[in-house]
Amino acid sequence: MIVLGIETSCDETAVALLRGGREVLANLVYSQTDLHARYGGVMPEAASRDHLRKLPSLLDEALATAGVRWSAIELVGVTSGPGLVGPLLVGMAHAAGIAVALNVPLLGVNHLAAHLFAHKLSEPGVPPPFLGLIVSGGHTLLAAVPRWGEYKVVGGTRDDAAGEALDKFGRLLGLGYPAGLKIDALAREGDPTAVPFPRPMIESGLDMSFAGLKTAAVYWRRDHPATPVPNLCASYLEAVVDVLTEKAIRAARRLSLPRIIVVGGVAANQRLREILPERAGEWGLAVHFPPPELCTDNAAIVAACAHHRFTELGVPGSLALTPDPNLPLDGWI
């Protein structure tokens, strides 16, 4: 079965073609970051218009890359939430139009569940149960996944997402937007013990808070303007990584889950990739990071999730989809 996946929930326009639930024939991502860089964050109205502009040509390009005709598509999967309502609507309207024109089923996909499918695409031989750590610019949450299609959110941030905390810190230092990758690189030249940033809420529970960390950075900069930027980056990143690591391990142990799967843009972070497996290993927990191109927003994961819902769970297609900016992962099938 060939599945077309479309993702437009935030600032990436993405189209993918997937065969048999796991063979990625094309996975194209057009990032709008240059468009939003001047605002220091995503501007929803500009994002909607840019998705509308880019999607038709990206669809053609994906078909050409995959060497597939429109008529070969048997199922269309599209992100229906959570995300920005305008951008979601653009992707969903396109997807519905294609499904009608081809007379194939249309399935809405939860963006957070789709992120977890990066693991199914990269390591199909390592099935659930696992603990999913979804950590991106828009989301930071912990989800127990006993089997594909069953998700229980057990913790997450109460305010900023971890990627958002890095991006805000990057803005403070004038590193541009998004700043995660630059902080990652600068941190490698700095001392992670140089600045004693707090580890908010690390002592207990599975919830997190990153907003205070940014405030601590503002005050530190004011009071210690001579602190070298690499030391600041290394120390700030260490605080974020410490919190994510501690919470993920605590959740996996508490729920007796044997492995932790890390997805989302922040999963590309080098320090997290070092520290989490090392500390989780001490508790006998395995950690898996899908390749970065599947961790960040893309449509192959949307197609994989739609394929699973349709073929394994028997969820029927529907043209009556509405975008849900706050679509929860908990209980979503």
Binding residues with ligand KG4: total (CB under 6 A):
19
Report the distance separating Cα 7 and Cα 287, nearest Å: 27
Residue 238 in the binding site for Zn ion (CB under 5 A): no
DSSP letter, residue 71: G
Pairing of strands 286-288, 259-263: parallel
Window contacting ligand KG4 (CB under 6 A); options: 16-24, 52-60, 161-169, 244-252: 161-169
The residue type found at 218 is: V
Residue 304 in the binding site for ligand KG4 (CB under 6 A): no
Of 167 and 297, which has the nearer Cβ to Zn ion? 297
CB 192 within 8 A of CB 237: yes
Binding ligand KG4 (rule: CB under 6 A), the pick from 102, 181, 202, 255 is 181
Residue 12 in the binding site for Zn ion (CB under 5 A): no
268 is in the binding site of which of Zn ion, ligand KG4, none (Cβ under 5 to 8 A by kind)?
ligand KG4
Per-residue binding letters, 116-155, with ligand KG4 (x by CB under 6 A):
--------------------xxx-----------------
CB 125 within 8 A of CB 142: no
Q: Tally Cβ neighbours within 10 Å of residue 333.
A: 11
Report the distance separating Cα 19 and Cα 2, nearest Å: 5
Instruction: Reply yes or no: is the peptide bond before residue 105 cis, omega within 30 of 0.
Output: no
Residue 136 in the binding site for Zn ion (CB under 5 A): yes
Report the distance separating Cα 223 and Cα 48, nearest Å: 41
Report the distance separating Cα 151 and Cα 139, nearest Å: 15
- Look at the alpha carbons of 267, 271, 277, 283 in this order and tell me if their dihedral is positive or negative: negative
Binding ligand KG4 (rule: CB under 6 A), the pick from 128, 155, 156, 180 is 180
- Closest-CB residue for ligand KG4? 265
Residue 238 in the binding site for ligand KG4 (CB under 6 A): no
178 is in the binding site of which of Zn ion, ligand KG4, none (Cβ under 5 to 8 A by kind)?
ligand KG4
Interface with Zn ion (CB under 5 A) = 136, 297
Interface with ligand KG4 (CB under 6 A) = 10, 136-138, 163, 166-167, 178-181, 184, 264-266, 268-269, 296-297
